[in-house]
């Protein structure tokens, strides 16, 4: 059940150095291609980065929060053509979470690195830097990159009691929904 995967999934930033198998990468690729998008426009594309030198370059896209990408055996850059659809951010986000849940189902860890609206160290945007490094068309954007690999760290899932149940409302915002664990 997918809820079981959600119960155990955590952001993993430390990975074992072993590469993913061709079959694992194919499964991850199929998962993102099965992602729904508004009106079937599919504004997203995906760059599966397995070359360590390129992952190292990508990890430098912003000064903080992307360094783990250099150690992940796989980094998946989610890129988009914003001209294809006005909800490209949402469509890319759906694809990214499906990628992360699929990785979890394979026993892999993952973490999301935000690139959209982030600065590169030299004053340019992280997306401008990535557009050049990944040789993207000028109109394409890189909202985020997902690092994936075999976890080299173990984190317990969040307990049901620790969930923010106060964020659940019934019918209207002012009406709280009562749930029991």
pLDDT digits (tens, 9 = 90+) for 151-177: 999 999 999 999 998 888 888 887 777
Confidence of residue 123 (pLDDT cuts 50, 70, 90): confident
Flag whether pLDDT at 42 surpasses 60.
Answer: yes
Q: What pTM value is reported for the model?
A: 0.94
Which regions of the chain does DSSP assign to beta strands (E)?
Answer: 44-49, 74-80, 109-114, 141-149
Flag whether pLDDT at 1 surpasses 90.
Answer: no
- Unique residue bearing structure tokens 């976890």: 151
Give domain limits for the chain.
2-167
In the chain, the N- to C-terminal Cα span, in Å, equals 18
In the prediction, which pLDDT does 57 show? 98
If you ran DSSP here, which 8-state letter would residue 55 be given?
Answer: H
Tell me how crowded residue 32 is: count the other CB atoms within 10 A of its CB: 21
In the prediction, which pLDDT does 155 show? 93
Residue 123 Cα distances to 34, 87, 113, angstroms:
36, 27, 19
The span from the CA of 73 to the CA of 60, in Å, is: 16
Pick the range with the lowest mean pLDDT from 44-53, 59-68, 131-140, 163-172: 163-172
In the prediction, which pLDDT does 144 show? 97
Mean pLDDT of all residues in 114-123: 91
Flag whether pLDDT at 181 surpasses 80.
Answer: no
pLDDT digits (tens, 9 = 90+) for 58-81: 999 999 999 999 999 999 999 999
Flag whether pLDDT at 100 surpasses 90.
Answer: yes
Q: Which listed CATH number (3.40.50.20, 3.40.109.10, 3.90.700.10, 3.40.640.10) goes with 2-167?
A: 3.40.109.10
Tell me how crowded residue 20 is: count the other CB atoms within 10 A of its CB: 21
Mean pLDDT of all residues in 10-16: 97
For the chain, the average pLDDT equals 95
Q: What is the largest CA-CA distance in the chain?
A: 52
3 state SS of 98: helix
């Amino acid at each position: 059940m997918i809820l079981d995967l959600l119960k155990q999934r955590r952001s993993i930033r430390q990975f074992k150095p072993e590469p993913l198998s061709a079959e694992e990468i194919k499964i991850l690729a199929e998962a993102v291609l099965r992602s729904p998008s508004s009106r079937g426009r599919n504004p997203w594309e995906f760059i599966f980065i397995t070359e360590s030198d390129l992952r190292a370059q990508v990890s430098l896209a912003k000064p903080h929060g992307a360094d783990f990408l250099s150690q992940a055996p796989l980094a998946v850059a989610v890129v988009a053509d914003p001209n294809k659809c006005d909800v490209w951010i949402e469509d890319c986000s759906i694809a990214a979470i499906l990628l992360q849940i699929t990785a979890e189902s394979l026993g892999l860890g993952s973490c999301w690195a935000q690139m959209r609206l982030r600065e590169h160290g030299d004053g340019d945007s992280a997306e401008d830097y990535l557009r050049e490094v990944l040789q993207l068309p000028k109109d394409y954007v890189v909202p985020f990159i997902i690092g994936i690999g075999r976890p080299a760290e173990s984190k317990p899932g969040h307990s049901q009691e620790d969930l923010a149940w106060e964020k659940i409302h019934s019918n209207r915002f002012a009406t709280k929904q009562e749930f029991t664990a």
